[in-house]
Amino acid sequence: MLSILLPLLIATTYHTIEIDGDISDFAADELIIDDSDNDSRWGTLNEIYGIYFTWDAENLYIGADYIVQNNALLILLDIGDAEGDYNINDLDWYPRNFSFRGMKPRVLVAIWNSEQWTSCVRKIVSNGQTEPINGATIVVDTSAGGVRNGIEASIPINELFENGQLTPGSCVKLVALIAGGDHATGGDAAPDNELIGTPNVISRFAVVELDANADGLLDADVSPNEVTEIVEVPHVNFEVTDFTIEPRVAAQKGDSVHISFKVSDNADGYLRIYDENGRKIREFWFSLGADEEFSVGFETDGLQPGIYFVEVNTGNYVAKKAFAIVAGGRIRLFNEPHPKISSKRRAIR
């Protein structure tokens, strides 16, 4: 870091930041992630130097000290509401090939190069959809002439938590990434992550305690740096077991399909069913402990004949199986007893 550029004053919350792209109004103790100035896989023109974070009573403020050349800067936040997505490769804004272990991005702050018109502050809703956050602002400062830039963003706390009331004890998880174009992986991460594999799995992030005194309000008089911890979530040999679909060939009319599975470790995620055109037709949320079973059944009525794909998706682990629906009524299997004809009916015959 070129610390000579940084202000030396110490500030505590509540601290209001002027959103003009000039990050010099962030104080030294609002630098929550101090990233190396030469650790990018893509050279010195694609570096994150540092991420700043602070708040006043109404807004969260984020500042980024960075440089990119024909790449994007993304800052992702998990606000602890269990919403958002573990994988951001299907987003309608800035889809990039990252999945997340231990954090679920809910807020996306992004910019391409240092072009103001490409910038956004959006909420990740579900199924890859995002929406703008009312009242949020983002401004890039390019006065350094493309050598080294800053962005600043503000997010009203009212738009993240109903009536601005935090879940007592709330934390926010944050990671910043330099990524290529749509569906590309990354070049630098803050805090550092091993940017390997497809997708890049992000398992290290900053955790900032917003409400240590658990009164539901953003804490006053704290140093953001002191309430930030860099956390790494280790990989576990997670798997989905006993994944069954009954029957594998179901009739379009009068049949039902039962799906069940277990997980080898605590997990939450979605069981999703897609048709052969990739259209999602059913979605079930699950939250399971180790070896707990999830089971669900649904009627086939109204579904078109064809192949269907069942996906168990925890964000960083996906298991898939297929079943088929055939036209017409329920199929009787060879080993199934024939329906009994009552003696009365037989007599009528």
For Ca ion, the binding residues (CB under 5 A) are 18, 20, 22, 25, 35-36, 39, 47-48, 188, 190, 192, 211, 213, 215, 217, 219
Q: How far is the CB of 75 from Ca ion (least distance, A)?
A: 13
254 phi-psi bin (left φ>0, alpha ψ -120 to 50, beta other): left
Nearer to Ca ion, 31 or 312 (CB): 31
Q: How far is the CB of 190 from Ca ion (least distance, A)?
A: 5
**DSSP structure class, residue 134:** T
Residue with tokens 């509401």: 81
Nearer to Ca ion, 214 or 236 (CB): 214
Nearer to Ca ion, 215 or 276 (CB): 215
User: Pseudo-torsion of CA 118, 175, 270, 122, nearest 10°?
Assistant: -30
Q: How far is the CB of 7 from Ca ion (least distance, A)?
A: 11
Nearer to Ca ion, 194 or 215 (CB): 215
Nearer to Ca ion, 43 or 306 (CB): 43
The 3 state secondary structure assigned to 67-108 is: ECCCCEEEEEEECCCCCCCCECCCCCCCCCCEEECCCCCCEE
Q: How far is the CB of 119 from Ca ion (least distance, A)?
A: 15
Nearer to Ca ion, 83 or 192 (CB): 192
Phi and psi of 201, rounded to 5°?
-95, 120
Nearer to Ca ion, 51 or 267 (CB): 51
Q: How far is the CB of 171 from Ca ion (least distance, A)?
A: 12
Q: How far is the CB of 88 from Ca ion (least distance, A)?
A: 18
Residue 52 contacts by C-beta under 8 Å, 6 or more apart in sequence?
Answer: 23, 26, 30, 31, 32, 61, 62, 63, 64, 65
Q: Considering only the C-alpha atoms of the chain, give the largest distance between any 2 of them, rounded to a whole number of Å.
A: 101
Could you give the CA distance from residue 110 to residue 90 in angstroms, rounded to a whole number?
Answer: 15
Q: How far is the CB of 268 from Ca ion (least distance, A)?
A: 27
Distances (CA, A) of 188 to 39, 68, 74, 208: 7, 10, 11, 21
Is the separation of the CB atoms in 193 and 48 below 8 Å? Answer: no
**DSSP structure class, residue 267:** E
